[in-house]
Amino acid sequence: MKVNFWILLLIIFYSCGDNNVYSVIDTLPKQDSTDVCNLENVEAYRVAYTTWKDSSSIRYFIEYIPIISQDGTKIVDYFNRADKKYISDITKKVSEESGKIIEKKIYEVYNKEEANVIFKFKIFEDDGVGGNLALSSFPPTKNQYGKPTISFDLADMYKYVKERDKAAHTYERVFRHEATHLYFGLFHDIENGVSNPSKKYNSYQFDDISGAKVNYKLFNDFIYNGVTYTFITKDNNKNITNNFKVSEFYTKCTAPKYSVGHFISKNCINGLQLIRDKYNTPIRVTSTFRNKTCNTIAGGASESQHMHNNAIDWKFIGVKAGKAQLAYEKDVMSRSTFLQKLLLSGIMGYGSYPGNFNHIDSRVISSGNRSLNGYKYIVWGEFAGSNAYYSSELEFKLHD
């Protein structure tokens, strides 16, 4: 009976705590929409300089700001032990993933003075229910005073934490988004990533990772979804393969996002060298990475592999170009042993257009319109053949 009595007391205690918190939340204004976040100081955003490169580690402290109830009572332990463990575990998981990307140790400390970043749970009284779920400041510059913060609005996050993964917005998704600002120094203009508030991803995307690495000047190769990416700069005339220089794979866009350079699929570069070797014919690279604006101007697919740094457009040049093109088309269409070699190198997309322009990409696909020895891949354009319904322009917009 004693055990049951104490269990009953605990139930009453926690239910009363919940009721007190919700009674405070109920008094707050309601917003028509809910946004994952807003940047605390947009004007303070400084690309590539707002990093943690002067810190050997990132040490965070999780702070729970007390709530004042309507009768003036201070509510301190509004999250129970299980709630706090859930928050701590998710924060650790995302922080450790982030640390591997930016090559820094990120960990929780339990003394606020030891921390160089603070994560706060508090009520945004002016924001109310809905509106912004969190506010993030950016990484510090050298000698910057104060500690950067991510503040989570309890008016919304209280319910989301209590409901765990059944909530409309999970703590992990909200925190991961804020981490792209605070840890990576990324803004909302990332096109396909967690840092874009209009997207709903549960894990870091290529744009998040590559953007962070550019900001931290970490230009070493990295692997994402089984594809290896290498950094390309405009004026690097060193050979990246036997017949191609690094600069040949620099974007043809007139206003690239990162002026220092960009990453591109190394699988594609190596695949292009295989093609160069096979047909012993010079090749001109005509297109590589394209940002969204550049891709729209080019008439590319809405989810073009060029936008995902996974594609290269090219053509044979020189006196043997026509002969090489015919041989290449025959090898792809007949599913030759050379095509299998390209598939093994990671080339999963093949396009060929009028004018002898070609496309290869290293997309990650679960299904395609062709298969060879267990490899699924996509072909289009001249490779797909033609009939009364064939449109090279339409196929370009679908698969490019």
SS3 for 361? strand
Percent residues over pLDDT 70 in the chain? 82
* 75 within 8 A of 68, measured Cβ to Cβ: yes
Least confident interval from 51-65, 77-91, 237-251, 342-356: 51-65
For domain 222-399, the CATH class is alpha beta
The pLDDT, as a whole number, for residue 4 is: 52
Higher pLDDT, residue 298 or 381: 381
Assigned architecture for domain 2-215:
3-Layer(aba) Sandwich (3.40)
The pLDDT, as a whole number, for residue 28 is: 73
Least confident interval from 28-32, 119-123, 313-317: 28-32
Higher pLDDT, residue 71 or 343: 343
The string of pLDDT tens digits covering residues 198-220 is: 888 899 999 999 999 998 899 99
Overall residue count recorded for the chain in this entry: 400
Burial string for 117-154 (b: 16+ CB within 10 Å, else e) reads: bbbbbbbbeebbbbbbbbbbbbbbeeeeeeebbbbbbb
Q: Please give the Cα distance from 174 to 87 (Å, whole number).
A: 12
Domain boundaries, the chain: 2-215, 222-399
Rounded mean pLDDT of 292-310? 81
Tokens of 175: 């925190």
Which residues partner with 35 through β-bridges? 132
Reported as a pLDDT band with limits 50, 70 and 90, residue 296 is confident
The pLDDT, as a whole number, for residue 44 is: 39
Reported as a pLDDT band with limits 50, 70 and 90, residue 282 is very high
Q: Which residues contact 223 (CB under 8 A, 6 or more apart)?
A: 229
